[in-house]
Structure 1
Amino acid sequence: MWFSKSQAEVLQELQVNATNGLTTEEAKARLEQYGANRLKGKPKKSTIALFFAQLKDMLIYVLLGAGVVTLIIGEYVDAIIIFAVVVLNAVIGVIQENKAEKAIEALQKMTTPRALVRRDGEVKEIQSELIVPGDIVILDAGRFISADLRLLESANLQIEESALTGESVPTDKQADDIHPDPQTPIGDKSNMAFMSTLVTYGRGEGVAVATAMETEMGKIAKILDDDNKELTPLQKKLEELGKTLGFIAIGICVLIFIIALIQKRDLFEMFLTAISLAVAAIPEGLPAIVAIVLALGVTRMSKINAIVKKLPAVETLGSVNIICSDKTGTLTQNKMTVVKHFTEPNESLDKDKAPVELIKALVLCSDATFENGEGTGDPTEVALVAFGDKNNLNKRSLDMEFKRVAEKPFDSDRKLMSTLNKMENGYRVHTKGALDQLLQISTLAYVDGKVVPLTEEMKLQYLKAAENMSDEALRVLGAAYKDTDHIISADEMERDLTVIGFVGMIDPPRLEVKDSIREAKLAGITSVMITGDHKNTAVAIAKQLGIAESIEQSMTGTEIDQLSDEEFSRRISNYRVFARVSPEHKVKIIKAFKAKGNIVSMTGDGVNDAPSLKFADIGVAMGITGTDVSKGASDMILTDDNFSTIVHAIREGRNIYLNISKSVIFLLSCNLGEVVAILASILFFWPIPLLPTQILWINLVTDTLPAIALGVDPGDKDVMKKKPRDPKESFFAKGAGLRAVIGGLLIGILTLVAFYLGLHEFGYSLNSENIPEDAMMNARTMAFVVLASSQLFYSLSMRSATKSIFQVGFFTNKYLIGSIVTGLVLQFVVITIPFLASAFKVHNLSLVDWGLVIVLGLIPLIINEIIKIFIRSTKTGDA
């Protein structure tokens, strides 16, 4: 804890003389001991390893099993199709993995290339990689810091640390400060300077106390490098579903062999039948369909300025119920802005327009620039110059008209800055700084265009008004002046001044964010602010945005450290604002929310946000202001840096999950129908109505097209008026399982009916023996077409659990209509083109038979629509 020790103690511990620095030999020895000053990452996995990692999934195992089954029965084309699906899934996964892990590389790029150090009694410029603990590092304005330093000297030193702490205003540094509290937040360590932060003002010297992975930036790199790849809710459900289907397939095979033994059937025939049932139980196209639906969702989301890097993240967004957001640059505009002013101590309310004299003093007593909406220099001074520009007092014009002839630079002890400018009839001192300091050195006040004596009562009024602004988390900056007929010394400038007034500034909220937070709240989503900024400032912004109602809903990093993980997790739901936090605190907050069963999204843009972005269920980085590090650690990037886009993305995520659920239930209904048809045939000693190749054709072709079309179904308009989905909620919740069973039973029974009618045309029944091949082919063709057509028509009913196909809009999903037409055409092609008909052991149907199978195929759709009418009437009755 270098920040708790004096300079002398630090130098003694590091065995270095501040005047001469390290010797070349000692620096070389330490470089060998500590290693190069650069951030490291773990070795990357090879592409082959990544490829095989994609295959570790139960549904993939099931799919591979189906491929082996098709090889066993000699259906090589189907086997090729199945294995091609597996390979395609793995390739997509590898591509996503390669894009995802860029965070460490980006951190390495942020380490600075050159640094000024004192070695052998001389100041030398060296590569930052060569800095070692004990090096004396020279700091000046505009230079990035190359290692963590304990400051030895500081002269008006200010360092911009927003990448590390999230604070938008540069931090004043004091080398002589000592912080005995071991829990002092990073943003309050005024005697320290940290790697990859920027010196914006003044100069200083420091001794390197940590390099490479031991720096604060290195700690972030370590967190980013940890494995934290939890499965998304969708992945968990698919894994559970895959295991269930796998066990069902195995159970079916065992059941059939038991039945075969009891019924004394031919074991080889039963083996082929078992294969048919196993194939029927497994939705071969499901992994591919889910991947395709997610990929299409990614494309859609890119059109609303949300770039998704990892496919499962699309679905996870749909169950997000906590949005943790960084403040600076995410909820706020990341630019200090003057929002209030005060010049009239006798007025209860300030006038709308600030007086020219106040603005002129603040602009002339600043070194920043502001041209064409872009500013350079200290953020506070940029805000003042921008304030002048807004009031038609341009900095460049004022500087030309009132030339600066002398100045007294800002000093952190005085907390003042003064300039002497040439005026029409002499010279004028303009002073800006802390209001209490100004009031001490002022004797007059500029009130309503007149100069009057500054009384004690007026001072109290000024201070009271400033206190009110401070309570609103505004940063207060006063201005004063003094006229003189000649050039005066710097010591004379700040005496007997005339107070003009003061302004209050803040990094204001983004205009659109408040509405987005309100929409999120209506959708059952809680917004939480996590920032490195001060508590009062954070709470003030949170109140404006509707995130928090009182300061009691806030907690600092120091307060977090005082609680055990269990106690913190227990109490975390009471808080909406976390201030003065470090990157480690952010991760702890995310983990605590997740421990309560929440699905957490973290939004941020700085390096300090990267670890929490990685640990969140969904890490969302800003595309414009976001660092490469935050982008590399995230799951999603907002190209417009708009917090509102994440709310739109959540809406899209919810609809994508609903669509995937529709596809899954549809496929399982279809597969259940196949299982019902075959299992019933075995139990009642009937002939098997479908061959394995026919089932595979329907599963891989006819089912897949409607399933994909359901996956791109237009979204539910009311989806954001509902609470987030419980991540533990099954695919079969809210009656979906019952719908799947009803649909499956109807499809299976109607397939058997068609099989019976096909046999009946040739004078046979289900219990007949020695059925000739032509009769069996006709019956199987009828069953084959009814199975396919009933599934195709049934897909129309799957678009909504309660609304009819006409309420939803018959043609609002043109892809689904197209898939149904395509499926029917494919069935027609299979049974009419000779070589295909021969391969699938089917033949062409008569016109009457076609009419019969279409009628049978429509029955599941009609019955399901009738059930919906009863559901709607029941809900209306309850209401």
Structure 2
Amino acid sequence: MWFSKAPEQALNEFTVNPATGLTTEEAKARLAKYGENKLKGKPKKGLIALFFTHLQDMLIYVLLGAAVITVFIGEYVDAVIILLVVVLNAVIGVVQEYKAEKAIEALQDMTTPRALVKRDGEVREINSEEIVPGDIIVLDAGRFVPADLRLIDSANLKIEESSLTGESVPSEKNANAIHENSKTPIGDQSNMAFMSTLATYGRGEGVVVATAMATEIGRIATILDEDIEEMTPLQKRLDELGKILGFLAIGICVLIFIIALFQQRDLFEMFITAISLAVAAIPEGLPAIVAIVLALGVTRMSKINAIVKKLPAVESLGSVNIICSDKTGTLTQNKMTVVKLYTFGNVKDIPAAGTGLEAGQDEQELIKSFVLCSDATYENGQSTGDPTEVALVVLGEKYDLARRTLHAEYKRVGEKPFDSERKLMSTLNKEENAYRVHTKGAIDNILELSTTALVNGRIVPLTAEMKATYLKVAEEMSDHALRVLGAAFKNTDRKLEQADMETDLTVIGLVGMIDPPRIEVRDSIHEAINAGITPIMITGDHKNTAVAIARELGIATSIEQSITGAELDQLSEEEFLSKINNYRVFARVSPEHKVKIVKAYQAHGNVVSMTGDGVNDAPSLKNADIGVAMGITGTDVAKGASDMILTDDNFTTIVHAIEEGRNIYNNIKKSVIFLLSCNLGEVVAIFVSVLCYWPLPLMATHLLWINLITDTLPAIALGIDPGNKDVMKKKPRDPKESFFANGDGFRAVMGGLLIGSLTLAAFYFGLREYGYSLGSRSIPDEVLTYARTMAFVVLAGSQLFYSLAMRDPDKSIFQIGLFSNKFLIGAILVGFILQFAVISVPFLAAAFKVQMLSAHDWGLVILFSLVPLVLKESSKLFTRTSGN
């Protein structure tokens, strides 16, 4: 019962020094002993289970029934072919689903929560899975607790434990508490922190006492395994489309069967053909193809530093037309550097490099307060923490006021953490015989709380004129795109409570720091604007600082395009809605304002992407159409609430992700239109033949073969087509836009009619070669075999060649590069090789009732097969010419 033991006991039992933590070697040994710190999920489906899952389809049942009937009447070859097609179709589905699952698992590994841990005397950020019993964990607001901890230090620490206790109000923690009652409920164990709970306020440290399944949450882990098999809106629409097409196909097949009855055809042959046509007409491969295209696309996006957590986000990315972005770290380099320092009457430029610099008494006091009132660390060129605080600690290093030395000499005994409303942070540090409060934050807020000022080593009353001077200097720094932070202190002879810290302060001065824009961001913003996307800057910085950066990047052109949080609060909801499109910069805003901004843009029908990194950003990330969390500076809460995580915190990555999202959607659309055209072609060829009382140009086995090979391989290859370079020159897609908008439905129908007509034409030429016509009766079997072979090869070949024309609705295959999609070329070659094998290998030819074609015949079928491609490319040329 760790909650009944003192912190020292827990540390002794795990043989760990709280100041230095475990050594790397000891951590490795314990990891080998205890295993990774992750919960066991429910078992995944095995390959065999997945295989049988893909057989659970009504049409597959019908097809299997047809196979049984063929066995009973002695048509063993047909039965074998039907069964082979069913098995191959299921195998392809299993392979696709397995690949998609592996891709998603890889992404989940990339989004594993991180934890701050002391190792070898240093604070490091590692994957939570690497944590072992005995590790010293550092907690701060916004981090998930990575394991069960016995707290050894706490400062105003509050942890939200609803996942364990059901209590939504955060629990206050006290490391010094000891609960002697062995039956103390989890919710009352104030000296413990539990895995998967969330630190919402303050900070603390704890020693890991349990990991993985040994934790409290591990005991209920069976209900925590999240189901990742989530259908996206696109997949749902396609699933509905498949059902509609299925009913239409079955209706057509029933009609075919009824007509065949009146025409007194071979009922068994027509029964098998009708069933095969139903299977061929329905693009049952669509959900699997869409799943693998999305999964591969998401994996590809992870390589450009954008981890998409939810597949529906890929679809939404293509429709984004507003990007609301943080300034610091996203639009800028996130390398804050203090370049100016001001104490009353004295402005000092700070060199970019160097140590051992000299500072006056007031300047030393200013730097000392900044360093002591910071949680960041900086040692040997490595840093942890907020970039602004890192810059302040680096400033201390330059003037030989190192963080480690100051924190050891002036031990922190209390603090009032930073709050986005106050825009201040305060610490209480022990002096020799007293205490001192150190406060840093917005200079205007500090001046409101200050009554005195430090001037030339003396504390003097703070006059209105002095306040105006401080504010004027701050404004001048802001005009030069510098971020301004002020510092103050208060001496006291007693240990103060939080409420008493930030009163009657003595202002020391302020610093100006800069975070220069990222070099590549300006080009990305220009690209976004050309793509019909409006970039919006949202920042907590001063308006002048924000607008200066926005102008440099091309986001805004004047100060009139900016508004502060205070000004926003003065507007009514109706006024803000009417003016929202006038603004490009939102400065000095709180996280609560972000939600208001998102909803205002959405009210105008925009699709909004919003970035965030803090605990309080979660609501705006949830409300946005695409919530984007920062991977480097973002808290676990922000990452949990987001749809996408930027591993490099870079605005350019958002633009690249939108481009990738547009291309993924377009690729899926290509695959769907292609499959529908192919399936419609098969339906047209069979239906017209039955309706006109012609001999059937294709047998059931032919349809099943083409449905499996000719359709599927090019459809998958189209789904992973390289991105269209011009996709960012077009406006965002309307999310309500029909899947068959912009003439795509018409193109699918025309493609299907063309492929079906050419199949019938090839069948006609085959019959005519022997002096027969489509209306002839008693056609010899060898003639039918020859004509059907011609139709069979033309149907397959026309679909394979037609896939080339489907790559772009406007550009020719030569403009986009004939070999730029090597997978498609490979799919076409494999398709023709397999088609050649079917008609040339004797036992396959006998099974499919086809024959070898002569060189003349091959020339003819290739000519027929090329017609859809040639006509499609000609229509593109005509459209481009007439457009010019």
Q: TM-score with structure 1 length normalisation?
A: 0.67
Q: CA deviation at 1:720?
A: 1.1
SS in 1 for 2:742: coil
Q: For residue 197 of structure 1, what is the aligned residue in structure 2?
A: 201
The residue type paired with residue 522 of structure 1 is N
SS in 2 for 1:799: coil
Take 2:567 and 2:112, find their aligned partners in 1: how far apart are those partners? 25
Q: Deviations over 1:659-708 (max 9, x none)?
A: 22222222222222212211111121110100121111112112222222
Change (3 A) 1:787 1:560: farther
Match among 638, 644, 655 for residue 646 of structure 2: 638
Q: For residue 843 of structure 2, what is the aligned residue in structure 1?
A: 835
Q: Deviations over 1:564-623 (max 9, x none)?
A: xx99999977777594336xx877876776676554444444455556656655444444
Q: For residue 739 of structure 1, what is the aligned residue in structure 2?
A: 747
Change (3 A) 1:139 1:237: same
Change (3 A) 1:377 1:728: closer
The residue type paired with residue 77 of structure 1 is L
Q: CA deviation at 1:297?
A: 2.1
SS in 1 for 2:511: strand
Moved more, 542-551 or 794-803: 542-551
Q: CA deviation at 1:318?
A: 2.4
SS in 2 for 1:395: coil
Q: For residue 113 of structure 1, what is the aligned residue in structure 2?
A: 149
Take 1:414 and 1:599, find their aligned partners in 2: how far apart are those partners? 36
Q: For residue 296 of structure 2, what is the aligned residue in structure 1?
A: 296
Preserved contact between residue 537 and residue 555 of structure 2 (Cα < 8 Å): yes
Take 1:70 and 1:643, find their aligned partners in 2: how far apart are those partners? 57
Q: Does 1:581 align with 2:591?
A: yes
Take 1:622 and 1:613, find their aligned partners in 2: how far apart are those partners? 11
Change (3 A) 1:454 1:851: closer
Change (3 A) 1:803 1:508: closer
Q: Does 1:395 align with 2:404?
A: no
Take 1:410 and 1:870, find their aligned partners in 2: how far apart are those partners? 76
Q: Does 1:701 align with 2:709?
A: yes
SS in 2 for 1:828: helix
Q: For residue 243 of structure 1, what is the aligned residue in structure 2?
A: 243
Q: CA deviation at 1:643?
A: 3.2
The residue type paired with residue 801 of structure 2 is F
Q: For residue 663 of structure 2, what is the aligned residue in structure 1?
A: 655
Task: Among all aligned residue pairs of Structure 1 and Structure 2, give the percentage whose two residues are the same amino acid.
Answer: 55
Moved more, 665-674 or 616-625: 616-625
Q: For residue 363 of structure 1, what is the aligned residue in structure 2?
A: 367
Q: CA deviation at 1:642?
A: 2.7
Q: Deviations over 1:271-305 (max 9, x none)?
A: 33422432332234333333333333234323322
Change (3 A) 1:560 1:623: farther
Q: For residue 90 of structure 2, what is the aligned residue in structure 1?
A: 83
Change (3 A) 1:379 1:762: closer
**Equivalence map 1:61-140=2 (5 Å):** 74=79, 75-88=82-95, 109=145, 113-115=149-151, 138=174
Moved more, 699-708 or 284-293: 284-293
Preserved contact between residue 539 and residue 550 of structure 1 (Cα < 8 Å): no
Q: CA deviation at 1:840?
A: 0.9
**Equivalence map 1:263-282=2 (5 Å):** 263=263, 265=265, 267-282=267-282
Preserved contact between residue 104 and residue 225 of structure 1 (Cα < 8 Å): no
Take 2:151 and 2:395, find their aligned partners in 1: how far apart are those partners? 36
Take 1:610 and 1:728, find their aligned partners in 2: how far apart are those partners? 26
Take 1:135 and 1:308, find their aligned partners in 2: how far apart are those partners? 32
The residue type paired with residue 680 of structure 2 is L
The residue type paired with residue 114 of structure 1 is R
Q: Deviations over 1:797-839 (max 9, x none)?
A: 2222222222222222222222222221111111010111111
Change (3 A) 1:326 1:88: farther
* Alignment RMSD (CA, Å): 6.0
**Equivalence map 1:17-56=2 (5 Å):** none
The residue type paired with residue 293 of structure 1 is V
Change (3 A) 1:55 1:197: farther
Preserved contact between residue 452 and residue 461 of structure 2 (Cα < 8 Å): no
Q: CA deviation at 1:514?
A: 5.4
Q: For residue 689 of structure 2, what is the aligned residue in structure 1?
A: 681
Change (3 A) 1:101 1:291: closer
SS in 1 for 2:775: coil
Unaligned stretches of 5+ residues in structure 2: 1-38, 71-78, 114-127, 129-142, 155-162, 177-184, 191-195, 206-215, 218-223, 353-357, 417-423, 495-504
Q: TM-score with structure 2 length normalisation?
A: 0.66
SS in 1 for 2:278: helix
Change (3 A) 1:242 1:503: same
Higher relative contact order (CA 8 A, sep 6+): 1
Q: CA deviation at 1:478?
A: 5.9
The residue type paired with residue 868 of structure 2 is P
**Equivalence map 1:595-614=2 (5 Å):** 598-609=606-617
The residue type paired with residue 305 of structure 2 is N
SS in 1 for 2:510: strand
The residue type paired with residue 647 of structure 2 is T
Preserved contact between residue 443 and residue 498 of structure 1 (Cα < 8 Å): yes
Change (3 A) 1:498 1:706: closer
Q: CA deviation at 1:785?
A: 0.8
Preserved contact between residue 41 and residue 225 of structure 2 (Cα < 8 Å): no
SS in 2 for 1:504: strand
Preserved contact between residue 665 and residue 731 of structure 1 (Cα < 8 Å): no
Change (3 A) 1:682 1:363: same
Preserved contact between residue 684 and residue 753 of structure 2 (Cα < 8 Å): yes
Take 1:454 and 1:593, find their aligned partners in 2: how far apart are those partners? 44
SS in 2 for 1:661: helix
The residue type paired with residue 809 of structure 1 is G
**Equivalence map 1:432-581=2 (5 Å):** 436=447, 441=452, 460-466=468-474, 474-477=483-486, 502-505=510-513, 513=521, 515-527=523-535, 543=550, 577=586, 579-581=589-591
SS in 2 for 1:665: helix
SS in 1 for 2:709: helix
Equivalenced residue count is 731
Q: CA deviation at 1:788?
A: 1.2
Q: CA deviation at 1:712?
A: 2.5
Q: For residue 770 of structure 1, what is the aligned residue in structure 2?
A: 778
Q: CA deviation at 1:790?
A: 1.5
Take 2:465 and 2:620, find their aligned partners in 1: how far apart are those partners? 50
SS in 2 for 1:755: helix
Moved more, 852-861 or 707-716: 707-716
Take 1:556 and 1:92, find their aligned partners in 2: how far apart are those partners? 51
Q: Deviations over 1:12-38 (max 9, x none)?
A: xxxxxxxxxxxxxxxxxxxxxxxxxxx
Preserved contact between residue 660 and residue 711 of structure 1 (Cα < 8 Å): yes
Q: For residue 672 of structure 1, what is the aligned residue in structure 2?
A: 680
Preserved contact between residue 830 and residue 836 of structure 1 (Cα < 8 Å): yes
Q: Does 1:852 align with 2:860?
A: yes
Q: Deviations over 1:516-574 (max 9, x none)?
A: 4443333223445678x6896997699566667658756689969997xx999999777
Moved more, 467-476 or 269-278: 467-476
Match among 364, 372, 376 for residue 380 of structure 2: 372
Take 1:455 and 1:587, find their aligned partners in 2: how far apart are those partners? 39
Take 1:44 and 1:480, find their aligned partners in 2: how far apart are those partners? 51
Preserved contact between residue 477 and residue 504 of structure 1 (Cα < 8 Å): no
Take 1:267 and 1:503, find their aligned partners in 2: how far apart are those partners? 90
Q: Deviations over 1:430-488 (max 9, x none)?
A: 99977759996569669xxxxx999986764344333565798944426899xxxxxxx
Q: For residue 137 of structure 2, what is the aligned residue in structure 1?
A: none
Change (3 A) 1:378 1:674: closer
Unaligned stretches of 5+ residues in structure 1: 1-41, 119-127, 141-145, 152-162, 165-193, 202-211, 214-223, 422-428, 447-451, 482-488, 491-496
Preserved contact between residue 595 and residue 620 of structure 2 (Cα < 8 Å): yes
Preserved contact between residue 796 and residue 805 of structure 1 (Cα < 8 Å): yes
Q: CA deviation at 1:356?
A: 4.5
Moved more, 824-833 or 509-518: 509-518
Q: Does 1:759 align with 2:767?
A: yes
The residue type paired with residue 798 of structure 1 is M
SS in 1 for 2:203: strand
